[in-house]
Structure 1
Amino acid sequence: MDIQVLGTLGVRDDGVSITPTAPKARRVLALLALRADTAVPVPALIEELWADRPPRSARTTLQTYVLQIRELITTALEANGNRSVTAKDVLATHPGGYQLNSGDGHSDVWEFERLAGLGYRAMDAGDHQRAARVLREALALWHGAPFADVEPGPQLEIEARRLQESKLCALDQRIEADLRLGRHRELLSELTVLVSKYRTHENLHGQFMVALQRSGRRSEALDVYRRLRNTFVRELGLEPSPALSRLQHSILLATPHQTPSAQRPAVSRLAPLAS
Structure 2
Amino acid sequence: MTALRGARQCTLLALLLLKAGEPVTKEQFFEELWEEGIPSQPGNALQAQVARLRKVLRAELGDEFVCRRLITRPSSYVLDVDPLEVDVHLFGSLTKQARASMRNDPAGARELFDRALSLWHGAPLEGVTGGPICQSAAAQFEENRLSAVEARIQLDIAIDGYAQAVSELKMLAYLAPWRERLFELLMVCLYRLGRQAEAIQTYNQLRSRLVEEFGMEPSPSVKSCMMAILNQDPALGGAERLVVARTPLAGSAVAS
Fold in common (TM above 0.5):
yes
Deviations 1:4-62 (A, max 9, x none): xxxxxx3xxxxxx7x52233122211211222211111111111111262121212101
Are 1:47 and 2:28 matched, yes or no?
Answer: no
Letter in 2 for 1:128: P
Partner of 2:254: none
Going from structure 1 to structure 2, the CA distance change for 1:45 and 1:161 (only over 3 Å counts) comes to same
Q: Match for residue 89 of structure 1? A: 68
C-alpha displacement of 1:117: 0.7
Asked if 2 retains the 8 angstrom alpha-carbon contact of 1:241 and 1:268, the reply is no
Q: Quick check: 215-224 or 21-30, which moved more?
A: 21-30
The amino acid that maps onto 2:22 is T
In structure 1, C-alpha distance between the alignment counterparts of 2:60 and 2:205, rounded to whole Å: 54
Task: Give the share of equivalent positions with the same residue, in percent.
Answer: 30
Give deviations 1:192-251, integer Å, cap 9, x for gaps. Answer: 111112212211110000111122211101111111111222222222122211211111
Secondary structure of the equivalent of 1:99? strand
Q: Give the CA RMSD over aligned residues.
A: 2.5
Q: Could you tell me how far apart the structure 2 residues matched to 1:147 and 1:223 are?
A: 36
Counterpart amino acid of residue 133 in structure 2: Q
- Would you say the 8 A contact 1:25–1:65 is kept in 2? yes
**TM value normalised by structure 2:** 0.86
Kindly state the Cα deviation for residue 164 of structure 1 after the two structures are TM-superposed: 0.7
Give the letter for the 2:97 counterpart. Answer: L
The range that moved more, 25-34 or 42-51, is 25-34
Give the secondary-structure state (helix, strand or coil) at the position aligned to 1:181. helix
Which of these residues, 105, 108, 111, is aligned with residue 87 of structure 2? Answer: 108
Where 2:77 maps in the other structure, the secondary structure is strand
Say yes or no: does 1:33 pair with 2:17: yes
Deviations 1:97-138 (A, max 9, x none): 101122687221122111101111012x34222222211111
Once the two structures are TM-superposed, the CA of residue 88 in structure 1 deviates from its matched residue by 3.6
Answer whether contact 1:90 1:101 (CA < 8 A) is retained. yes
Segments ≥4 residues shifted beyond 4 Å? 265-270
What residue in structure 2 maps to residue 198 of structure 1? 176
Q: Is the 8 A contact 1:214 1:259 kept in 2?
A: no
User: Among residues 40, 57, 62, which one is paired with 2:46 in the alignment?
Assistant: 62
Higher helix share: 2
CA separation of 1:77 and 1:235: change in aligned 2, threshold 3 A: closer
Q: What code does the residue aligned with 1:228 have?
A: L
SS of alignment partner, residue 11 of structure 2 = helix
* Residues in 1 aligned to 2:134 and 2:19: alpha-carbon distance in whole angstroms: 11
Which secondary structure state, in structure 2, belongs to the residue aligned with residue 69 of structure 1? helix
| Structure 1 residue 76 displacement after superposition | 4.1
User: Measured at CA, do residues 77 and 88 of structure 1 come closer, stay the same or move farther in structure 2, by a change above 3 Å?
Assistant: same
Paired residue total: 246
Q: Which residue of 2 aligns with 1:13?
A: none
Q: Is the 8 A contact 1:20 1:68 kept in 2?
A: no
TM-score (norm: length of structure 1): 0.81
1:261 aligns with 2:240: no
> Which structure 2 segments of 5+ residues have no match?
252-256
Answer whether contact 2:188 2:236 (CA < 8 A) is retained.
yes
Q: Does the C-alpha gap of structure 1 residues 145 and 86 become closer, same or farther in structure 2, counting only changes over 3 Å? A: closer
